[in-house]
Amino acid sequence: MLNKYARAFFTRVLTPFAAFLIRRGVSPDTVTLIGTAGVVAGALVFYPRGEFFWGTVVITLFVFSDLVDGNMARQLGRSSRWGAFLDSTLDRVADGAIFGGFALWYAGHGDDNTLCAVSIFCLASGQVVSYTKARGESIGLPVAVNGLVERAERLVISLVAAGLAGLHAFGVPGIQYLLPVALWIVAVGSLVTLVQRVVTVRRESAEAEAAAHDRPEGASHGSEAS
């Protein structure tokens, strides 16, 4: 839902900014690299120290680069396999830094081994959820499933909760518990999404093999001859 509606909304909002960067000679790849560097810095500098509010502010400022670079590429007519590969790869780096920052906090001054483990699970499961779709598509399957908690949901839930939890440092009582709740939600949602994708790939694989088995032999030879 977030991928469909929120992405479309922010794409329209950020189009003028993308056009401005193009006029200044900035390339989409540069925006991708700078955006990822900003997210990683915000996550690994602020989160391990428990400065969740300011860390989230920094991350939010840079996370929109994921929309800006694609917008720029479309305006330039330069959408390419390389750009898609770079964007997808650096998305995984950014996600790892965010949940790694949470894990470092709970392993250190946060002093909660359970939440450290949950943060690590969120990090790992997010990577595996992405891998299952990429791997399924690489073997010719559509992986036609909308998971319960995909990347957009993971980021929104985690970053909103972290930002609000950071208000505890400004004297807002009890709000620090939002982040642990959010991490558990993301962990469980990611697990459900992983199961959804694995089940979908299993079903699509069985259907593809059944279709290949039932295909008339003559049709197969005809396609090879052509």
**Has 111 been labeled as part of a binding site?**
no
**Has 11 been labeled as part of a binding site?**
no
**Has 74 been labeled as part of a binding site?**
yes
**Has 87 been labeled as part of a binding site?**
yes
Task: Output the CA angle 53-55-61, nearest 5 degrees.
Answer: 105
Instruction: Out of 91, 95, 111, 112, pick the active-site residue.
Output: 91
Contacts of 187 (CB under 8 A, 6+ apart): 118, 121, 122, 125
**Has 23 been labeled as part of a binding site?**
no
HSE-up (13 A, CA, CB side) for residue 68 = 24
The b-or-e profile of 105-116 (16+ CB within 10 A means b, else e) is bbbeebeeeebb
**Has 69 been labeled as part of a binding site?**
yes
Q: How many residues does the chain have?
A: 226
Annotation says 91 is catalytic: yes
Task: Output the CA angle 47-96-204, nearest 5 degrees.
Answer: 145
**Has 60 been labeled as part of a binding site?**
no
Give the C-alpha separation, 183 to 158, whole Å.
7
HSE-up (13 A, CA, CB side) for residue 14 = 22
Q: Which residues sit in the known binding site?
A: 29-32, 66, 69-70, 74, 80, 87, 91
* Catalytic sites, residue numbers: 91
Q: Which residues sit in the known binding site for Mg(2+)?
A: 66, 69, 87, 91
Q: Which residues sit in the known binding site for a CDP-1,2-diacyl-sn-glycerol?
A: 29-32, 70, 74, 80
